[in-house]
Structure 1
Amino acid sequence: MTDESKTTLHTVLRSQRDALRLKLEDLSERDARLPRTATGTNLLGLYKHAGACELGYFGETFGRPSDLPLPWDAPGVSVEDDTDLFATEDESMSGVIEWVGACFAHADATIEALPLDARGSVPWWRPGNSVTLERILVHMIEEEARHAGQADILREMVDGAVGWHGADDNVPDRGVGGWASRHERLTRIADARA
């Protein structure tokens, strides 16, 4: 792989980060935190999770620790508490966004400092925890793309906002009536196959 390949992978990762971040734009603190699924998935939690993952995968994996605390390092908290998936009572939305930005900056420094074939070890992967920077970049792109897709759906549930980068940039403008008509058609098709 070349420097160009590394630049491409890093650009795609940043694009997924941006997609997650944009789903928080113009939301109230409540709407960003409110669980939208039975398991508690919420927009701010998805963003916080992305930061925690990057901090671990681009930090500890490559022997590049950070002074940033991981969510499960708080007193009385464990990894099983899943505090990387939601903002706790003591965390503000702006504080989480700032912390995630710092996590991404730490990850960027690792990506910029190391070649794609740099070796690392993911302690929480067993067996086969030996990896390269290239493998972790691909893993994190996959992880964040999955969460960006979840965020797309969650944000649409909040206020109907759709699109990859915001402002409906990659979705046809059907208007409220057009989307309602489409919804009715798809329901008819599904009902006919019942």
Structure 2
Amino acid sequence: MDDKATLHRYLRTRREDLLAKLDGLSEYDARRPLTPTGTNLLGLVKHVASVELGYFGEVFGRPAGVALPSLADDAEPDADMWVAPDETREEIIALHRLSAAHSDATIEELPLDAPGDVPWWPADRRRVSLHQILVHMCVETAHHLGHADILRELIDGTAGQRPGDPNLTQRTPAGWAAHRARIEAAARAAGW
């Protein structure tokens, strides 16, 4: 597998992992803010979709033709990071899938050294390649997937990428409680 195919596979996997964080959640749980800054699961999906449309669309002269009110000049700050009551989960998931398909087409059609221009970056950094943007979006998506991992665990205790995730130690709820208690005791001992 070449570098482009490897990076593309990682991006596709992280996108699907992010969407999977919504599985089985109520509308409220998918949207509710769980941090002081309002971070929420459906907002993360909306944000990643919006960002991908820009980086794999505008940057390479391939606009998707999708108007995103949350990114309009008159939109309130951070409108792409949460979902208004009149926006449905289905619309956000459809946006995410449309964004992914548009990005995939750009990735498949252009070589890694294809030049692009990021108009919202400082002038000295604007000139980029597809390779650079592909790495950037793998990191961006994984970054927000990490947020989503923590939010989902706070909502219902679901941890890891999927049930039986081999990267997560398997413990019973009592085992996790004991593990957490050990960590809390260590923190308190170090803090005193």
Common fold: TM-score over 0.5: yes
Task: Name structure 1 gaps, 5 residues minimum.
Answer: none
The Cα shift of 1:15 comes to 1.2
Alignment partner for residue 118 of structure 2, among 118, 122, 125? 122
Once residues 104 and 181 of structure 1 are traced to their aligned partners in structure 2, the CA distance between those partners, rounded to angstroms, is: 41
Written as runs of structure 1 = structure 2, the 5 A alignment for 1:173-188 is 173-188=170-185
Q: Taking structure 1 as reference, are residues 73 and 146 closer, same or farther at Cα in structure 2, changes over 3 Å only?
A: closer
Once residues 140 and 26 of structure 1 are traced to their aligned partners in structure 2, the CA distance between those partners, rounded to angstroms, is: 27
For normalisation by structure 2, the TM-score amounts to 0.94
Q: Taking structure 1 as reference, are residues 192 and 73 closer, same or farther at Cα in structure 2, changes over 3 Å only?
A: closer
Match of residue 62 from structure 2: 64
RMSD between aligned alpha carbons? Answer: 1.4
Q: What is the aligned residue count?
A: 189
Write the letter of the residue equivalent to 1:146.
H
The Cα shift of 1:73 comes to 5.0
Once residues 71 and 143 of structure 1 are traced to their aligned partners in structure 2, the CA distance between those partners, rounded to angstroms, is: 21
Task: Name structure 2 gaps, 5 residues minimum.
Answer: none
Match of residue 15 from structure 2: 17
| Identity, % of aligned positions | 50
Write the letter of the residue equivalent to 1:102.
L
Match of residue 152 from structure 2: 155
Does the Cα contact within 8 Å between 1:52 and 1:71 map onto a contact in 2? Answer: no
Question: Which whole-Å deviations, capped at 9, do the CAs of 1:146-170 have from their partners, x for residues lacking one?
Answer: 1111110000000000112x11413
For normalisation by structure 1, the TM-score amounts to 0.93
Once residues 39 and 167 of structure 1 are traced to their aligned partners in structure 2, the CA distance between those partners, rounded to angstroms, is: 29
Match of residue 169 from structure 2: 172
Write the letter of the residue equivalent to 1:119.
P
